[in-house]
């Protein structure tokens, strides 16, 4: 069968809402775009451990420390679910991780912002993971089976991340004046970068067309961003936090919040390597890989020794 016919059949399957599995025929562009999107997503989970890992030794109580440890471990798990899914597209783990370590692959710009106070652990859980849930709940119904299944798993765990973050901020908002200011300052810094997590406006989004056609994306960037804003504002009001957007207002007719302009220059600066922590994140990620090499060597040596014994026996 020629590629055009195969592609038509493929698109018919997409239109019928069928799920595409690794061994099914798929257009090369579909495969490539999925590898790009999924590996970026996986790298983001892995880098996501760094801003929070910073606070494990400085958590204010044993309870918060154990929770934060579990959350950071989840992020590693999420990275691994998605790497595992990406590998079904005929690309090896070495290739995917290699592109990340050599700086070619991108990851979510949100992780290039610093975590300056304990309240940032709250804002990250509530806003950053809150935005991630909106994105990932949509992706859990995407057309590629291994990606969709990884998202179902991740969404269940993100709900814990989301609520523990909110609880951190809620607790601070019941505290002293300084604690309330610390919570508000953190929200002031993380609100706009969280909105940027959904990507450029629909009219400026280069990959959206194909991804929507293939039902990898089911909703546009702006639709998901709006969904996040609408569900988050009442949560902020509930604990007395102010959203740092003077233009924010409820539109009774549309039943949506209207928001002010997003600073896209900042977004592109961070994406293109000029964020506050880009260099630091890559440095730490590479160091972790290098520092772990003796563990990989030891495990491999052990496996070798063990298997040669079995053969002798």
Partner 1 sequence: MSNTQWPLWEVFTQKKFGNPFEHAGSVHAPDKEMALQNARDVYSRRNEATCIWVVPSELIVSSSPEDVSSFFDPMNDKIYRNPNFFKTTGASFE
Interface ranges with partner 1 (CB under 8 A): 21, 23-25, 70, 73-74, 77, 80-81, 84-85, 87, 92-94, 97, 146, 149-150, 157, 290, 293, 296-297, 299-300, 302-303, 306-307
Cβ atoms 96, 40 nearer than 8 A: no
| Residue 144, CB-side half-sphere exposure with 13 Å CA sphere | 30
Q: Least separation, in Å, of the C-beta of 146 and partner 1?
A: 8
Residue nearer to partner 1 on the CB measure, 53 or 77: 77
Residue nearer to partner 1 on the CB measure, 58 or 283: 283
Cα–Cα distance measured from residue 207 to residue 216, given in angstroms and rounded to the nearest whole number: 11
Q: Least separation, in Å, of the C-beta of 40 and partner 1?
A: 19
Q: Least separation, in Å, of the C-beta of 311 and partner 1?
A: 13
Q: Least separation, in Å, of the C-beta of 204 and partner 1?
A: 35
Within 10 Å of residue 308's Cβ, how many Cβ atoms? 10
Cβ atoms 182, 172 nearer than 8 A: yes
Residue nearer to partner 1 on the CB measure, 85 or 199: 85
Q: Least separation, in Å, of the C-beta of 286 and partner 1?
A: 12
Cα–Cα distance measured from residue 82 to residue 80, given in angstroms and rounded to the nearest whole number: 5
Within 10 Å of residue 264's Cβ, how many Cβ atoms? 12
Residue spans of alpha helices (H) in the chain: 3-15, 28-47, 49-53, 62-87, 93-101, 119-123, 129-139, 145-173, 177-196, 208-213, 221-238, 264-269, 278-291, 293-312
Q: Least separation, in Å, of the C-beta of 267 and partner 1?
A: 32
Residue nearer to partner 1 on the CB measure, 23 or 247: 23
Question: Mapped to the 3 state alphabet, what secondary structure does 251-289 carry?
Answer: ECCCCEEECCCCCHHHHHHHHHHHCCCHHHHHHHHHHHH
Residue nearer to partner 1 on the CB measure, 254 or 295: 295
Residue nearer to partner 1 on the CB measure, 6 or 116: 6
């Amino acid at each position: 069968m020629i590629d055009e016919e195969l592609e038509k059949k493929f698109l018919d399957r997409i239109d019928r809402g069928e799920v595409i599995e690794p061994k099914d025929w798929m257009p090369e562009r579909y495969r490539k775009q999925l590898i790009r999107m999924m590996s970026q997503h996986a790298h983001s989970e892995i880098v996501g451990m760094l801003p929070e890992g910073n606070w494990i030794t400085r958590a204010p109580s044993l309870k918060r420390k154990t929770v934060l440890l579990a959350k950071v471990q989840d992020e590693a798990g999420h990275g691994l679910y998605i790497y595992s899914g990406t590998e079904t597209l005929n690309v090896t783990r070495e290739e995917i991780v290699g592109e990340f370590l050599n700086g070619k692959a991108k990851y979510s710009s949100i992780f290039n912002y610093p975590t300056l106070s304990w309240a940032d652990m709250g804002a990250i859980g509530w806003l950053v993971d809150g935005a991630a849930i909106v994105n990932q709940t949509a992706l859990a119904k995407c057309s590629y089976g291994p990606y969709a299944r990884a998202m179902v798993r991740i969404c269940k765990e993100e709900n814990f991340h989301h609520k523990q973050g909110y609880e951190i901020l809620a607790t601070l908002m019941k505290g002293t004046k300084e604690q309330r200011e610390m919570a508000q300052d953190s929200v002031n810094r993380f609100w706009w970068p969280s909105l940027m997590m959904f990507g450029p406006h629909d009219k400026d989004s280069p990959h959206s067309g194909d991804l929507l056609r293939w039902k990898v994306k089911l909703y546009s960037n702006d639709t998901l961003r709006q969904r996040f804003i609408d569900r988050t504002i009442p949560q902020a009001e509930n604990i007395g936090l102010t959203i740092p957007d003077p233009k924010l207002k409820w539109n009774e007719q549309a039943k949506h919040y209207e928001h002010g302009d997003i600073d896209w220059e900042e977004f592109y600066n961070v994406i293109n390597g000029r964020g506050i922590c880009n260099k630091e994140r890559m440095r730490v990620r590479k160091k972790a890989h290098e520092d772990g090499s003796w563990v990989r060597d030891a495990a491999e040596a052990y496996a070798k020794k063990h298997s040669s014994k079995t053969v002798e026996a």
